[in-house]
Structure 1
Amino acid sequence: MTPSTSPQQLYRFLEDRFTCAQACTECARVCAVRASLVDPDGTERQERVRRLGIMCAEVCDSTCRVLCEENQQDEDGIRVRLEWCRSVCLECAHAFDACPGAEPAAGTCRACAEACSRFLESLRRP
C-alpha cells in the first residue's frame, strides 16, 4: 500500500486479505478431511488425489499463516504465494472432480482459488 492509499482502498485490501485467509483455512480443512477419506492402498489415481489433497491443505495453511502476519511483508512474495496457492487449489479441484462424492471439496478449492485471485487483484491496484 502506498501513502496515497485511500481509507476505502485500505479497507478493501484488508477485506480481500481476510477473505482469502478464511478461504485458505477452509480449503485446508476440507482437503485434509477429504485426503483422509481416500484409501491410501487404492488405485494410482486415488493415491494422486490423496497426495494432492494433503499438498493443497499444506499450501493453504501456509498461505493463511503468511496472510495473517501483521509485520511488513514483501508484496512480491505475497503475490508468488497467492499464485502458488491458486494453482494448487485449481489442480486439487480438478482431481476431486474425478472422485464421486468429492464435489463439495472441489467447490471449496475453487472458492479458495477465486479468493486468491480477488486478493491478487487488490494488490495490483494503485
Structure 2
Amino acid sequence: MTSTTSQQQLVQFLEDRFTCAQACTDCARACALRASLVDPDGTEEQEQVRRKGILCAEVCDATCRVLAEQNQMDEAALRAQLEWTRTVCLECAHAFDRYPGAEDAAQACRDCAQACTEFMATLD
C-alpha cells in the first residue's frame, strides 16, 4: 500500500507541477500581451503597469522553465522561485485591476498565483 500511496503522491505532484507550469505560461502570455497594449509614452503610472506586466511575464517564463527541467532542483530554491512568482503575479494582478480591459490578464495572474500556492503545498 505504501508504494501505491507513493505512486499516487508522485502522480499528484507531477500533475500539480504541470498545472503550475501551464498557469505560468498562460500568465506570461497574458502579461506580455497586456504590457504591449500600454502606451509606452503614457503616464508614469501606465509605464509602471507596463513594467510590472513585463516583469511578471519574465518571472513566469523563468518559473515555467524551472518546472520543465527534468533534473532535481533543491526544494528550498524551488519554493523560493514559486513564492517569488506568486508575489509578482499578485502585484501585477493588482496593477491590472486599475485598467479597464485588463481583466483577463489580471485573472491569469491570480490563477498563476493560486497554482503556485497549490504546488508549494505538495512540497511539504
Q: Same fold (TM over 0.5)?
A: yes
Deviations 1:8-27 (Å, cap 9, x if unpaired)? 11111000000000000010
- Deviation per residue, 1:76-112 (Å, 9 max, x gap): 1000000000000000000000011101110000000
1:32 paired with 2:49, answer no
Look up the match of 2:42: 42
Please list every run of at least 4 consecutive aligned residues from structure 1 whose deviation after the TM superposition is greater than 4 angstroms.
none
Instruction: In structure 1, list runs of 5 or more residues that go unmatched.
Output: none
Percent identity of equivalent pairs? 71
How many pairs align?
Answer: 122
Q: Report the counterpart of residue 70 of structure 1 in structure 2.
A: 70
User: Map of 1:83-122 to 2, 5 A cutoff?
Assistant: 83-122=83-122
How much does 1:33 deviate? Answer: 0.4
- SS of 2:123's equivalent? helix
- Once the two structures are superposed, what CA deviation does each residue of 1:4-47 show, in whole Å capped at 9, x if it has no partner? x7111111100000000000001000100000000011011100
Indicate the RMSD between aligned Cα atoms, in angstroms: 1.4
Structure 2 unaligned segments of length 5 or more: list them: none
Q: Give the TM-score, by structure 1 length.
A: 0.94
Give 1:55's aligned residue: 55
Separation (CA, whole Å) in 1 of partners of 2:102 and 2:27: 13
Q: Matches of 1:31 and 1:18 in 2, distance apart? A: 20
Q: Distance in 2 between matches of 1:8 and 1:73?
A: 21
1:57 deviation in Å? 0.2
